[in-house]
Each structure stands twice: as C-alpha cells, then as structure tokens.
Amino acid sequence: MSSVHDELSKILMIEQLPAMPHSALSVLQLDNDVAKVNINDLVRPIEADIGLATQVLKFLNSSYFGFQSAISNVKQGIALVGIRIVKNFVLWKAVFSLIPKSKTGSFDVAMLWQDSLRRAMFSRFLLLELKKGDPETAFAGALLQDMAIPLLLKKKPADYADVLDRLAKSPQSRLSTLENETFGWNHADAGALLGKNWKLPVPLVNLIENHLKIEESVGNFEKQPEQSIVSLSALLPSVTESVWNERADFDKFFQSILPEKSPLLTKIFDKVDREFEQYAMIIQITKPKKPLFNYLDE
C-alpha cells in the first residue's frame, strides 16, 4: 500500500492541489453531535465568508425544505435543519469548487455529479427508512466516493482518458478493475488521499477509501451500515448507461443484507427521482434524462 500511496502522491502533487477553503474546513472539523458543539462555532466561519453564508441561506430557503417563513440568518437555519445537513451542504460546495469541470471524450463531470447525488440520496433515504446508522454521514460518503476522478483526469490526461474511453466501449467492465490493471491503484485510493490532505473527517475518508470493497462491507452491515450502503450505492446504474450493467451484483448484495426488502427498493428509487430535481437546482446540476426508477423495469 505504501508504494500505491507514493505513486499517487506524485500524481496528485499536494502543493499543486487547490486548498480547502478555510471557512469550509472550520465547519467540517466540528463534531456532528449537536450536544458537543456550540452552534455559534458553526455559525461564525459561515458568516465570516459572505459567499458561503449567501449560499447556505439560499439552500435553507429552497423548496427542498419548504419552510413557510423565510430563514433570515444562518443560526436560525441550523437550529431548524440540524448541524449535519448544513455541514454536508458546506462540504459539497467546497469540494465542488475544487474539482475541475472536466469534459473530454466519453467523460463529463456533470454526469459524474448526477451519479454522485443519486447515490448520496439513495444512501440517506435507505438508512432513514431502516433506522440504521448515520444517514448524513452515508450521504456525504456516497456523494464524494468518486471525487478523485476529475482530478486524475487532469493530472494524467492521456492515460486516464484512455481508461475512461475503454470503460465507455466496454460498459460491462468496472472502472476500478481497469484502473488497477493500468496503474496499480484506483480512484478510491486517490479519493482517500485527497480527503486526508483536505483534512476531511476520518469517518468520511474511510467511506471513500472502502466504497469499492462491497463483499467485505455488506458482510459487516450491522456494525457499519453506512459503509455497507455507500458500497452498495456504487453499484447503482450510471446516467451514462442505457441498461443497468451491475444489476445482478446489486440485487445479490441487496438481498444479502436486506432479505425480503425488495419492495423497499422501489420506494427508495421513486423517492430519489422525486426529490432529485429540488436538490439538484440548489447545487446547480442538471436532472438525469432517465429516472432511476426506470432501470427497475428492465
């Protein structure tokens, strides 16, 4: 693993990486437990960054929450929706600002964010339905599981673009398999390295690093439901796929951790589709052309 880390460290030269905004870093390093955090410690760094404060207020006043009265200040909004939800929004905006807006060959970062948001919403809604684990941590882990891909494409444009093009021509293949065969590492390894250098919370970095270890994760569902569901979300169909190429694997692992819960899947997919557009408008990504629910009928 050390050789993998050394190779990735050379590719993702830390001194050349964009730095996590200080305001966002201050927010992300606070504990998720409201009992352990003074709400003013969360409010201060947000309000000190006028741009971030404006974005947070826009988020809180969106139709996603549907408050009848306008939220006039950040502190009021945090008290209403909770620390975790605001932290996840700050995290998204910070990472989104650091990721190159790549579009080359078969790859478009806008589609990657569509996939990421779907996976994040799936993870949150499923854990909420099951009353297991921490849905907001799972949301963040699923959202950022592929965040290294655009940076890898920027740092190794020819070689990594070739891997992505091979994946597009052979959709039955897995990106991580092609990465490991070509480089000896994959985007989960790179994502963990980025997360550590951006000083993201350790539990979040662990979710990113291990999201491809599906068999190991689902076998430990009761102890680590967040990791199991984030790993499961990685098998959801991509917006680039006309058919769900990893449906068989998804069904197998879903049944192994949630036997007799197949009807729940229909409910979760429908909810992701219904609520995707509201959330996507806030974070400025477009709605996928094909609803997630439609893949169930194929």
160/154 Cα distance (integer angstroms): 9
Q: 112 pLDDT exceeds 70? A: yes
pLDDT of 250 = 95
- Strand ranges (DSSP E) for the chain? 103-104, 107-108
Q: Tens digits of per-residue pLDDT, 278-289?
A: 777 766 778 888
pLDDT of 11 = 76
Domain 2-297, CATH homologous superfamily name and number? Hypothetical protein af1432 (1.10.3210.10)
pLDDT of 177 = 94
199: left (phi over 0), alpha (psi -120 to 50) or beta: left
pLDDT band, residue 16 (cuts 50/70/90) = low
pLDDT of 225 = 95
136/142 Cα distance (integer angstroms): 10
* Contact of 145 with 188, CB cutoff 8 Å: yes
Give, in degrees to the nearest 5, the angle at Cα 286 between 232 and 282: 90
pLDDT band, residue 34 (cuts 50/70/90) = low
Q: 15 pLDDT exceeds 60? A: no
Q: What pTM was estimated for this model as a whole? A: 0.87
Segment 211-221 mean pLDDT: 92
Total Cβ atoms within 10 A of residue 91: 22
* Average of per-residue pLDDT values in the chain: 86
127/268 Cα distance (integer angstroms): 10
156/149 Cα distance (integer angstroms): 10
Q: Three-class SS of residue 160?
A: helix
pLDDT band, residue 14 (cuts 50/70/90) = low
pLDDT, greater one: 64 or 177: 177
Percent of the chain exceeding pLDDT 70 equals 92
Q: Tens digits of per-residue pLDDT, 144-182?
A: 999 999 888 888 888 998 999 898 888 788 999 999 999
Cα–Cα nearest to 106, from 42, 171, 59: 171
Instruction: Give, in order, the Cα–Cα distances in Å from 17 to each of 2, 8, 52, 116, 141.
Output: 21, 13, 21, 22, 21
Hey, where are the domains in the chain? 2-297
15/145 Cα distance (integer angstroms): 23
Q: 2 pLDDT exceeds 70? A: no
pLDDT of 182 = 93
Q: Which residues contact 132 (CB under 8 A, 6 or more apart)?
A: 225
- Residue 166, Cβ density class (10 Å: 0-12 exposed, 13-18 middle, ≥19 buried): middle
pLDDT band, residue 230 (cuts 50/70/90) = very high
Segment 240-249 mean pLDDT: 91
Q: 210 pLDDT exceeds 70? A: yes
Q: How many CA atoms lie within 13 A of 37 on its CB side?
A: 22
pLDDT, greater one: 156 or 14: 156
Q: 242 pLDDT exceeds 80? A: yes
